[in-house]
A and B are shown apart, each in its own frame.
Chain A
Amino acid sequence: MTKANEAANIPREQPPGALAASGLEARRVSVSVSGKLLIDSVDCTVERGTLSALVGPNGAGKSTLLRALAAVELPSAGSVHFGEHDVLTMPRKPRARLTAFVEQDATTDSQLTVEMVVKLGRLPHQSLWEADSKDSLSVVEDSLATVSMTAFRDREFHSLSGGEKQRVMLARALAQEPQLLTLDEPTNHLDIAAQLDVLAILSGLTEHGVTVLAALHDLSLAASYCDHVIVLSGGRVVAAGPTKDVLTEALIADVYGVRASIVANPVTGRPMIGFSPA
Chain B
Amino acid sequence: MSLFSRTAFIAGVSVLSLAGCATGAAPAPSPDAQPETIQLSNCGVAVSFDEAPERVITIKSSTTELLLALGLGDRIIGTAFHDGPVPDEWAAEASGLTSIAERVPSQEAVLDREPDFIFGGWESNFSADGAGERADLEALGIHTFVAPSACQSAEQPPKLSFDDVFSDIETVASIFRVDASALLTEQAAQLAAIDANGDSRTALWFSSGSDTPYVGAGIGAPQLLLDTVGLNNLAADIDATWAPYNWEAVVDADPDFIVLVDADWNSADKKIGILEANPATANLSAVKAGRYLVVPFAASEAGVRSVDAAASLSAQIAELDG
Instruction: Answer whether A and B touch in the complex at a CB cut-off of 8 Å.
Output: no
